[in-house]
Structure 1
Amino acid sequence: MFLDVVELRDFYDGHLGLLARRMIRRRVRELWPNLRGQSLLGLGYTVPYLRPYRGEAERVLAAMPAQQGVLHWPAEGPNASVLVDEAELPLEDASVDRILLVHALENTEQRAAMMTEAWRVLAGNGRLLVVVPNRRGLWARFDHTPFGHGQPYTVSQLSRLLRDSRFTPTRTVHALYAPPYTSGLVIRSAPALEQVGHRWFTRFAGVVMIEAQKEVYAPRRVRKRVLARARALLPSGRPSVPVPANRDRTA
């Protein structure tokens, strides 16, 4: 079940939200350092992570599920957010180059349909980036943050879901190694904890992030194989083309 959009906005305006925004955004930027000339769709509550791309990508759109609610975004310019049914996105096939899912997959009750829609609207050479709470991390154990709601995932669980949804995982990263406390010491030491955790304790990160590529298969040439098999099954010494019944056999 989705959290209300106002709760999400208030979280990201607070100390822990600013910490999560900074740490996760850094990893997103490492995976996608340059989206110049490309289109970017955020599904869920992604606006804290879309902002760096507004002046870079050709088009940035924030799609917010109906059960969550929608807010005007960005505050300082024309609206780029839209209220959607995550199982029926109002976009054409293969119309976006990048899709970012945050606070989406772990909360939706239409997981299969949402992933089908993500596959449909993503371009053939596009990339999907999913951010979900880590089942083994501390952030999934406390419900005073959005990462403590919904279904958390391990790397293997998320990878399997992506493959079942016709995506091929390409890169996996983690973020949020600092505990979800508002202590000034924790906030100040978060960058150092991030470096240590990224090197030694990835399994205990707060979130799992997997980038995946859309699987597009070439049509198989079944007809030729079927014909070849049919010829191979003909009786030995018999012609492959039948002789007409009224042919003059004495000729």
Structure 2
Amino acid sequence: MSDVMPTTVPDFYQTQAGAYCAALLRERLQWFWPEIKHQKVLGLGYAAPCLGAWQGRGALCFTALLPECGGAVGGTTFGGPERAVVAEAAHLPFQDEAFDRIVVMHAFRSEAQAITVLRGAGRVLRDDGRMILIGPSIFAGRLRQCKTPFAHDSAFAPTTFRRVLAQAMLQAERRDEALFFPAQWGGGSVRRGRAGDIAGKVLAPGLGSIALVEVVKNIYAPRPLPITPWRRLWRRQPLMAELHAEHPAKRKQS
């Protein structure tokens, strides 16, 4: 297999290494949510390869592809093109609280974008729903998966990650990890990758290259006020002071 990473995220998941990654991630997702029959699940970013975790289990799966992932509605989407859409994260074409579960993968390129994506996802997530965020670990996760799309995803430090969640009115509840070794090392053998992950969790817990974090809505979290309006207010104060100072002088002249 070539050492050159495919040009788009969907192309990678058509390769042997991509299928290997998706299979291991699906196993971890089944551990988080073993039974979600009759529930609506959304894959956001490019999470279509992971939605097969609930194939044949009664879940109704949809896919929202972000334009920056290079995805297109077609055969690579789980559930068929009738359940897939290409949309901006800030303008997802779904009603509020439409989904019981959301899987977000390959959706974060910066802190600001992550906040936008999570706010959009939080809008379409039920108040009692759950969301799983999949991304590279801060502990050299992107370096170990440099031949995969995870190399282009943002890896947030714990303090930054908590700040991002707070800005989106979310909070973390559970965490898991996968792919302790580069995807190319697995040789396409899911059994070998599973054994490597088990050994990694025993010998080096917390050092997996891919982190899976389950988050829920924090409905009591205060939403921070934007900074820009306050800056405008302070800029207006000198002008208002000048107007008040000129006003008495104008009255005397009149």
TM-score, normalisation: structure 2: 0.74
Q: Distance in 2 between matches of 1:118 and 1:177?
A: 28
- 8 Å CA contact retained: 1:134, 1:140: no
- 8 Å CA contact retained: 1:178, 1:186: no
- 8 Å CA contact retained: 1:43, 1:102: yes
- SS of residue in 2 equivalent to 1:136: coil
Aligned counterpart, 2:161: 158
CA RMSD, 1 decimal: 2.9
Alignment of 1:93-132 (within 5 A): 93-106=96-109, 110-132=113-135
Q: Is structure 2 residue 142 aligned with structure 1 residue 135?
A: no
Residues 82, 107 of structure 1: alpha-carbon distance in 2 compared, 3 angstrom cutoff:
farther
Greater shift after overlay, 208-217 or 132-141?
Answer: 132-141
What are the Cα deviations for residues 120-140 of structure 1, in whole angstroms up to 9, with x where unaligned?
Answer: 111010001100111213444
Query: Structure 1 counterpart of 2:62, which letter?
Result: L
Shift of 1:18: 2.1
Aligned counterpart, 2:16: 15
- 8 Å CA contact retained: 2:176, 2:212: yes
Which sections of structure 1, spanning at least 5 residues, go unmatched? Answer: 220-251
Aligned counterpart, 1:235: none
**Percentage of identical aligned residues:** 27
Shift of 1:173: 0.5
Shift of 1:188: 6.4
TM-score, normalisation: structure 1: 0.75
Structure with more of its chain in helix, by fraction? 2
What are the Cα deviations for residues 218-246 of structure 1, in whole angstroms up to 9, with x where unaligned?
Answer: 99xxxxxxxxxxxxxxxxxxxxxxxxxxx
- SS of residue in 2 equivalent to 1:13: coil
Q: Which one of 181, 184, 201 corresponds to residue 181 of structure 1?
A: 184
- 8 Å CA contact retained: 1:168, 1:213: yes
What are the Cα deviations for residues 28-71 of structure 1, in whole angstroms up to 9, with x where unaligned?
Answer: 11001111011101101111101232433442110001233323
Greater shift after overlay, 55-64 or 105-114?
Answer: 105-114
Q: Distance in 2 between matches of 1:158 and 1:201?
A: 22
Aligned counterpart, 2:93: 90
- 8 Å CA contact retained: 2:20, 2:183: no
Q: Is structure 2 residue 80 aligned with structure 1 residue 70?
A: no
Query: Structure 1 counterpart of 2:83, which letter?
Result: A
